[in-house]
Amino acid sequence: MQIFFTKYEGCGNDFIIIDDRKHIFPEKKEFIVKISDRHFGIGADGVLLLRDHDTLDFEMVYYNSDGSEATFCGNGGRCIVSFAKSLGIIGTETRFLAADGIHSATVSEKNQHICEVKLEMSNPVIYSQDEHSCYLNTGTWHYVEFVKKIEDVNVREDGRILRYQERFSPHGSNINFVEFSNNSIKVRTYEKGVEDETLACGTGVTASAIAVSLINGHTQFEVRTEGGLLAVQFKRDNLSFTEVYLTGPATKVFEGQLNIG
């Protein structure tokens, strides 16, 4: 049996997306690991399933490349919105369900392959913060560490050490290294579930902007990742952050068919 898939990327954060409204995708860890592999499979940071929802436009189900079911993925959310538009499920606006709750988004086509997607994120929960770091949840758990020269950071090694620290158990945390000046931020992220540095992380970019705002008070940021530029904006009242939006490109790369036995 074969099923169709589409490969998308958001600033280099790449996903296998499947229209699973008929619930035919085999949700088995070994299969997800296989198709996510960059040598023996399609290659991706994660797998996204689009499913029907009774009252919303659709439901998003997300798996990390290691086969674990994830919480929320910001770039994945933007990419699946673009995918839903290509299917004719939505127009320029949408509301959909993800693991962390309901999200809204607007989408505009730049060309036949690229859309600009503005996604409303969850209101963050801040667990701890000081002048050097911040630990918070922006749809999933993120630790932000401020650095002076981001290019000098060994993200794979330093991120792996921090990711497994006892203070983040039992769920672990994504790790973000952040260099900033005013409302300009550079971010590099070690992503749990991928267990490596990814070229961009939407929830990590959002967490980094929130963390910097706690220091300098800005509410709009241009964020440079290894894979490109994203924008974050929000409203802030002391430690309360609302109307949090992540904006950036969602690009269709290619499509094909998967053999599932």
Say which of 79, 115, 134, 201 is annotated catalytic: 201
* One-character DSSP codes across 29-65: HHHHHHHH-TTTS---SEEEEEE--SSSSEEEEEEET
Annotation says 201 is catalytic: yes
Q: Which helix (H) or strand (E) holds 14?
A: strand 13-19
Burial of 160 per CB tally in 10 Å (0-12, 13-18, 19+): middle
Residue 235 has a CB neighbour count (10 Å cut-off) of: 11
Amino acid letter, 82: S
Query: Degrees (nearest 5) of the Cα angle 87, 83, 125?
Result: 135
- H helix intervals, 139-201: 155-163
Q: Cα 14 from chain centroid?
A: 10
Question: Of the listed 11, 73, 79, 134, which one is catalytic?
Answer: 73
Distances (CA, A) of 68 to 27, 30, 150, 207: 10, 10, 29, 22
Q: How many CB atoms lie within 10 A of CB 225?
A: 26
115 is catalytic: no
The catalytic residues are 73, 201
